[in-house]
Copies of this chain bind each other. A is one copy, B any other.
C-alpha cells in the first residue's frame, strides 16, 4: 500500500517546492500529502471520531507542514447551507446606535442568545444611501433582525426579499416577519397622563418623524406624519393623554430631534424653555432625551418637578440614578425574543410588557 503513485494524472499541481508562489492550501492538498482521501481529511476536522488515530495524526502533520489554515468557512457554509450567524440591521449610523443605551441593551440580548447557540451576530451597516439593499442581501447570515425603522425603509423590502427568517423590533409590521414590540401607544398614553397631570403648558420631545431625520420645534405635529411607527404611536399616545387633560394637540409644541441622544434633546429643550411661554410639563420619548431636558432645565435654573414635570421612556440605568419617572421596558428581553424568533421559536407577546415607573421627575 505504500507508494502507489502510478501516474501523475493531475499535472496542474506542479508547485511542489514553489515556496515563492503562496496560494491558499486546500483540504485536497492536505489529503494528498497525508496520503489519505479528501474525505478522511475532511472528517479529521468535522468528525474526528470517525477517523483512525493514525490517519488523524497524518492529516494533522500534513496540515502543519503545509500550513493549512483549516476548512474554509465559506465553502463550508455553502455546502452545509447555514452560516451560523444572525444579522442585525441597525438603520442608523452605527456610531449613534452604540451611543444609545437602549439599542445597546437590545444588542446585548440578541448577542446572548446567539452566543448560547454558538452563533455569531453580524451588525449590518445601513447608511441610508442606495446600495444598502444589496449590502443586506449580500450578507451571509441565516436570519435578520431589524431594529426599529420607518414604514418606507427600502431595507425592509430587501430583507424580506431574501426569504430568510426576519424579525422586526418596534415596527413597522411586515408581512411574513415577526414583530417584537410593546404597545407604544398605550405606554405613552399612560406616561403622558403622568407627565401632563396639572400642567398648564405641556410640550413633547420627540424622536425623529421620518428617515430624513429633520429636526425642529413645531406645533400640531400630526402623528400620522411620522413614518417611524414607534414615533407615530408615541405621539398618538401623548396626544390622547393631552386630549383627556383638555388640551388641543395643535397648540402643543413638539421638539423633534434628529437623533435619540442627550445633546440634541438638551439643545431643543433649551430652546423650548427659553421661549416666551415655556412649558411646565414635558414628555420625552426616551430617557436619553429626558436627561437632555433635565440638563436644559438645570441650566435654566428650573426645578424638576416644581417648575417642570418630566417623563422619559425605556428606564435605562441612568433613569433610576436621576429619579426619572419613565416607562419601563426591557429592551434586553426584547433583543433576546427577537433572536429566538429568528431561530424559529414563536416569540412572546410584549404588548403589555411595560409599566410606568413613578419616581421624582413628574409632579404627583
Binding site for B on A (CB under 8 A): 67, 69-78, 81, 83-85, 87, 93-95, 97-99, 104-105, 107-109, 111-112, 114-115, 118-125, 127, 131, 135, 137-141, 161-164, 332
Q: Which of B108, B140, B162 contacts A140 (CB 8 A)?
A: B140
Contacts of A332 in B (CB 8 A): 95
Using known A-B contacts A118-B135, A140-B140, determine if residue A94 contacts B111 with beta carbons closer than 8 Å.
yes
Q: Which of B67, B112, B122, B127 contacts A94 (CB 8 A)?
A: B112
- Docked-complex contact B74 and A78, CB < 8 angstroms: yes
- Docked-complex contact A120 and B122, CB < 8 angstroms: yes
- Docked-complex contact B108 and A98, CB < 8 angstroms: yes
With both beta carbons as reference points, the residue of chain B lying nearest to A126 in the complex is identified as: B115
Contacts of A104 in B (CB 8 A): 98, 104
Q: Which of B76, B78, B137 contacts A70 (CB 8 A)?
A: B137
Contacts beyond the supplied A94-B121, A98-B107, A104-B104: 20 A-B pairs with Cβ under 8 Å: A71-B137, A73-B137, A74-B81, A74-B83, A84-B138, A85-B122, A93-B112, A93-B115, A94-B115, A97-B108, A98-B105, A111-B123, A111-B125, A115-B127, A120-B124, A120-B135, A120-B139, A121-B123, A122-B122, A140-B140
CB distance from A191 to the nearest CB of B (A): 25
Contacts of A93 in B (CB 8 A): 112, 115
With both beta carbons as reference points, the residue of chain B lying nearest to A295 in the complex is identified as: B321
Q: Which of B71, B97, B118 contacts A125 (CB 8 A)?
A: B118
With both beta carbons as reference points, the residue of chain B lying nearest to A22 in the complex is identified as: B163
Distance between Cα atoms of A99 and B106 in the complex (Å): 11
Distance between Cα atoms of A95 and B335 in the complex (Å): 11
Q: Which of B95, B112, B162 contacts A112 (CB 8 A)?
A: B95
- Docked-complex contact A70 and B162, CB < 8 angstroms: yes
- Docked-complex contact A163 and B69, CB < 8 angstroms: yes
Distance between Cα atoms of A263 and B16 in the complex (Å): 59
Contacts of A137 in B (CB 8 A): 69-71, 73
CB distance from A162 to the nearest CB of B (A): 5
- Docked-complex contact B115 and A162, CB < 8 angstroms: no
Contacts of A107 in B (CB 8 A): 98
Distance between Cα atoms of A94 and B67 in the complex (Å): 32
- Docked-complex contact B108 and A99, CB < 8 angstroms: yes
What are 6 residue pairs bridging A and B, where the CB atoms are less than 8 Å apart in the complex?
A67-B163, A69-B161, A74-B78, A85-B140, A98-B105, A115-B127
Distance between Cα atoms of A81 and B123 in the complex (Å): 21
Distance between Cα atoms of A131 and B119 in the complex (Å): 12
CB distance from A89 to the nearest CB of B (A): 10
